[in-house]
Amino acid sequence: MSQKMLYILNPGDNISPFDVSMAADAGFNHIIPFPHVQPDNVTSMVQDAIFARPPKRFNDTCMFIGGRDVHLAADMFENAKKAMVGPFQVGVFADPNGAYTTSASVLALVQKALEDTHKTCLKGKTVAIFGTGPVGLCTAILAAKEGASTRLCALTADDDKNVAKRFCSRYDVSVDWVTALTSEEKITALSNVDVVICVAKAGVRILEQKELDAISNLLVVADTNAVPPSGVAGVDMQDLNSPLPYANGVFSGIGALAIGNIKSQTERGLFKYVQESETAALIDFPEAYKFALSLVKELATK
């Protein structure tokens, strides 16, 4: 009987129990963690894995890149791809701190809300993303790749513009950087915005009603915060394209539980995809977004 092997490569100490559960539910027989893995270690580890089985069994082995640092994960992912030798390949799936599947799920739900309720799409829209951490960075890049004018809104003085710019340059996109430490700065950052996405620290209110009311043409607001209070005033955890009033009309609200549901299904689905793909799967967050978007559309038809 074929044994499905998942190797978790983690730069830090701890392996995510969430990732382990998702992988087990997706059908992996053996889940083996490797902590303290750095980018320079990846090539030898991948090549140990690819030569352990004949080429036709590429579906039976997956290298999962975890940890909490998207910059390290990006380096590890590139090294894993380069480590393949001819027909000797294995699947590679990166999702550090859940940032890749979370950003994919947020933007997939935003895109679906724009299409269903507002009969439009992200292309040509202005998107403001509050929170410049891993999820914010990935969401900004995905939105920019969809043709949106994207603003990363820094919420603390410690947020590093240069680090964010370097990560965006990996994916050949340009993202604006704006400071949003005060209410006045937040209102300025929201000028002419169509879509607001809040991916900031849990349990902290980022946008109050008065700041939303300053927007003239708000279409969609998404908030990943599942710890009260919500990150955005008026957006409930269970909102899924819910009509929510503000001073200048009604916008579509998307809450944390709706996002989390798609995130879980996306991660579990990608673990299954690695085992079923016709070629060795290579899953970065742009690939995760494509999967999440197809999942959201599929669920809408049921």
**What are 226-253's pLDDT values in tens digits?**
999 999 999 999 999 999 999 999 999 9
Residue 128's CB is within 10 A of a number of other CB atoms, namely 28
Residue 105 has pLDDT above 80, yes or no: yes
pLDDT of residue 61: 97
Q: Say whether both 26 and 65 belong to one domain.
A: yes
* Mean pLDDT, rounded, for 63-75: 95
Count the domains in the chain.
Answer: 2
pLDDT of residue 300: 82
Provide the CATH number for the domain around residue 33.
3.40.50.10280
Residue 89 has pLDDT above 80, yes or no: yes
Residue 228's CB is within 10 A of a number of other CB atoms, namely 9
pLDDT of residue 23: 97
pLDDT of residue 299: 87
DSSP 3-state assignment of 191?
coil
The percent of residues above 90 in pLDDT, for the chain, comes to 95
User: What is the span of the domain harbouring residue 22?
Assistant: 5-98+261-301
Residues 6+ apart with CB under 8 A from 164: 132, 137, 152, 175, 177
Q: Say whether both 128 and 221 belong to one domain.
A: yes
Q: Say whether both 55 and 144 belong to one domain.
A: no
pLDDT of residue 4: 97
* Mean pLDDT, rounded, for 197-225: 96
* Mean pLDDT, rounded, for 160-186: 94
Q: Say whether both 92 and 117 belong to one domain.
A: no
Residue 155 has pLDDT above 70, yes or no: yes
Q: Say whether both 106 and 254 belong to one domain.
A: yes
Provide the CATH number for the domain around residue 199.
3.40.50.720
Q: Say whether both 106 and 203 belong to one domain.
A: yes
pLDDT of residue 2: 81
Q: Say whether both 128 and 166 belong to one domain.
A: yes
This prediction has a pTM of 0.96
| Mean pLDDT (the chain, rounded) | 96
Q: Say whether both 66 and 93 belong to one domain.
A: yes
CA terminus-to-terminus distance, the chain: 35
Contact of 233 with 223, CB cutoff 8 Å? no
Q: Say whether both 17 and 45 belong to one domain.
A: yes
Q: Say whether both 113 and 235 belong to one domain.
A: yes
Q: Say whether both 29 and 89 belong to one domain.
A: yes
Residue 53 has pLDDT above 70, yes or no: yes
pLDDT of residue 1: 60
Buried b or exposed e, range 144-183, using 16+ CB within 10 angstroms: bbbebbbbbbbbeeebeeeebeebbeebeeebebbbbeee
Q: Say whether both 240 and 109 belong to one domain.
A: yes
